[in-house]
Amino acid sequence: MQLRYSFRLYPSAGQRTALARAFGCARVVYNDALRARETARAEGQPFPKTGELSRRLITEAKKTPQRAWFGEVSAVVLQQSLRDLDAAYRNFFEGLKGKRPRVGAPRYKSKRDTRQVVRFTANARWSITPGMKLRLPKVGDVRVRWSRALPSAPSTVSVVKDSAGRYFASFVVQTGPSEVLPRTTPEVGIDLGLGHFAVLSDGTRVDSPRFLRRAEKRLKKAQRVLSRKEEGSNNRDTARAKVARAHARVADARRDFHHQLSTRLIRENQAVAVEDLAVKGLARTRLAKSVHDAGWSAFVSMLEYKAARYGRAFVRIGRFEPTSQVCSQCGVKDGPKPLHVRVWTCRACGAVLDRDVNAAVNVAKAAGLAVTARGAQVRPVLVPAPRSEAGTRPTPQPSTAR
């Protein structure tokens, strides 16, 4: 399977200028191609092909005074911009046909967009130097912070500038069957929630870190400062960057937590089952901020691709499965219960069941996994306080290789 590995870049001032030039040229080519296709559609003419657009908007445009500066960047960057437009149209039309989730029609890119991307393929002759720097055509040797080794030789690299002003190199690599883990015995079902981020069918509970809630005070202060700056001023740009960096820290911490937990679950279990949650629906309720803070969709996506990568089984069960209503001991459906009921007694067999652990066991059973209800029968215990209430400073967690 193909994977992406991202590493932090530290370009010099001159290299940042060269990258800004590449971002701008790629954006102009994208907008020119989109305008040409929209004009052809409005006039009832045939849809211009990518080859024709490449000749007209890149090769011939370089010879004109208005687009002569296209020659200052790698031609591969401009070609890849046309391919990005093709992918945007393909996703749009496939969404209309029902082959994938619906997305909007391609839109023009703005130079005020805070996130910029250019892509270099093998034709651009980019390389990693003996000094472990990233050599990009017409940019130079950029310093890279290598946090881990690549599993194979990369075929493509994308240079990304995010909203916080940070630069990243995103490599596309091909992984083989050598990464498949040896078989193991445990199989686990996972019940995702807000009180606890995850409850496993063996009774293990994973506390919800609540990264956004913990950073809320700092974010509010930064956004309040931003709202008081004059539109279009340099001070507003500086304040906007501070807000973006604060949000980036929250997103990075959440992503690292998801990676570490998903990797541990995949390594320790032969099969993993989760419930297909209606995240979009929950995000329209009064719990919207907590739902977005948990990031269930990203976590489940990580479980899915890591299971495929390491040779594990991954199962999603339907969102309408009554996992909280069925007794995992005897299988009798005891009916719906309010959310404040965390422990209940089955009227058929008399088992005392923890709501979350019972649901996790039922998730595993619905997926056909060989689990027992060993963690479902419990006694009420004290619930630990959330991190936001337990202390004033979060304890830094060591990062591990993913």
User: Is 191 among the catalytic positions?
Assistant: yes
Q: Which residue has the tokens 């070609």?
A: 79
The enclosing H or E element of 8 equals strand 2-10
| Burial class, 142, CB count within 10 angstroms (exposed 0-12 / middle 13-18 / buried 19+) | buried
| Residue from 114, 48, 43 nearest 85 by CA | 48
Of the candidates 191, 202, 293, 354, the residue annotated as catalytic is: 191
DSSP annotation string for 165-220: S-EEEEEEEE--GGGPPPP-S-EEEEEE-SSEEEEETTS-EEE---HHHHTHHHHH
Rounded distance, CA 70 to CA 75, Å? 8
Rounded distance, CA 81 to CA 354, Å? 53
Of the candidates 32, 84, 293, 356, the residue annotated as catalytic is: 356
3-class DSSP assignment, residue 7: strand
3-class DSSP assignment, residue 6: strand
3-class DSSP assignment, residue 100: coil
> What DSSP designation does 93 have?
H
SS3 content of the chain, % helix, strand, coil (to 5): 45, 20, 40
Of the candidates 187, 275, 293, 354, the residue annotated as catalytic is: 275
User: Is 356 among the catalytic positions?
Assistant: yes
Q: Which residue has the tokens 């250019």?
A: 118
**Cβ contact 281:323 at 8 Å:** no
Residue 110 is encoded by which pair of tokens?
Answer: 């703005």
User: Is 94 among the catalytic positions?
Assistant: no
Amino acid at site 59 = T
**Cβ contact 358:328 at 8 Å:** yes
Residue 187 is encoded by which pair of tokens?
Answer: 């199989």
DSSP-derived pairing of the beta strands 271-275 and 313-317: parallel
How far is CA 68 from each of CA 75, 81, 109, 274, rounded to the nearest angstrom? 12, 17, 20, 54
Residues annotated as catalytic (active site), given as ranges: 191, 275, 356
